[in-house]
Amino acid sequence: MKGKRILMTGAAGVIGSDLRRWLVEQGATLRSSDIRPFGQLGDQEEIVIGDLCDAGFASRLCEGVDAIVHMAGRAKEGQWTDLAGPNIMAATHLWDAAHTHGVERIVYGSSNHVVGFYRPEEKISNDDPQRPDSRYAITKAFGEHLASVYAYKFGVKAFCIRIGSYRPEPISRRELSTWISPRDLAALVEIGLNADYVFETVFGISANKRAWCDNARAHELGYQPRDDAETFAARFGENREEAGKLENQFQGGGSAAKEFLADPALIPGR
Ligand SMILES: NC(=O)c1ccc[n+]([C@@H]2O[C@H](COP(=O)([O-])OP(=O)(O)OC[C@H]3O[C@@H](n4cnc5c(N)ncnc54)[C@H](O)[C@@H]3O)[C@@H](O)[C@H]2O)c1
């Protein structure tokens, strides 16, 4: 990590704030950026404020950078008018700029909602087709496709992390399956910044006993998660009545169930 010039987008956000502190501790030379202002951590960090929906800004941001950790965007469901700019146009500007400026690789904050319409009893792998559960999830699925074309066609390597539920501790039963601790996400980002690959999609979850996915590819690349949400399981009792609820029928939970009007049985199994 030492000496690597890394651009961190979404640096004022929940994940970005933690990751840039960790990257500075690792000795990276950091350019941190967000649309909203935030405080500088030290001499190793340059702060650049601006909107990634502005292609010229995205281009200036990528000058002289070796790698990008892309966490900027709208992190929740919304209307297309809310999502198209920060999650689609901003991503196209960033990947174009990375290509133009010869950036070697991008670590991308994707989401488990890209596969949110699989069922909890289906153990999915990164080879399973995307099955997005919302407009937000479609923008993340788009990001993964963008990343793959720019990797395979233009040589901008990409490591897409389908982040589950990022926080210090899980806060619901569902998160016993989807949780990722800050140190485990940092470990995945480290692999994304250093491992030998062209294009990868991995699951951003800790070593959860109740995981709904097989994260074998991440493990092959060296991921050794240190946390397991099961440690917190006693906080969330078994509630049989909850099991039949629509939101519990899909890996995507409430996001998958939101605005749902059709028959869930029509969604094919794996
Ligand atoms: N937190 C989670 O559990 C989780 C789970 C799955 C995926 N993700 C993804 O990881 C990434 C980071 O998540 P987070 O929880 O830190 O979100 P966050 O909302 O806290 O941070 C996102 C940051 O992006 C910035 N941003 C938005 N639009 C921008 C633009 N046009 N130009 C520049 N900056 C812009 C925001 O100001 C914000 O600081 C997001 O892309 C999110 O979709 C997060």
- Does residue 109 line the site of ligand 1, with CB under 6 A? yes
d(Cα 20, Cα 87) in Å, to the nearest integer?
21
Report yes or no on whether pTM surpasses 0.95. yes
Whether 136 is a known active-site residue: answer yes
Rounded Cα distance, 157 and 105, in Å:
4
- Distance, CA 185 to ligand 1 centroid (Å)? 14
- Domains in the chain with CATH codes: 5-266 (3.40.50.720)
Question: How far apart, in whole angstroms, are the C-alpha atoms of residue 201 and residue 92?
Answer: 18
Find the 173 Cα to ligand 1 centroid distance in Å. Answer: 24
Q: Could you tell me the distance, in angstroms and rounded to a whole number, from the CA of residue 12 to the centre of ligand 1? A: 9
pLDDT in tens, the chain (270 residues): 777 899 999 999 999 999 999 999 999 999 999 999 999 998 899 999 999 999 999 999 999 999 999 999 999 999 999 999 999 999 999 999 999 999 999 999 999 999 999 999 999 999 999 999 999 999 999 999 999 999 999 999 999 999 999 999 999 999 999 999 999 999 999 999 999 999 999 999 999 999 999 999 999 999 999 999 999 999 998 766 676 799 999 999 999 999 999 999 999 888
In the block, residue with structure tokens 């917190």: 232
* DSSP-derived secondary structure letter, 172: S
Catalytic residue among 136, 150, 166, 223: 136
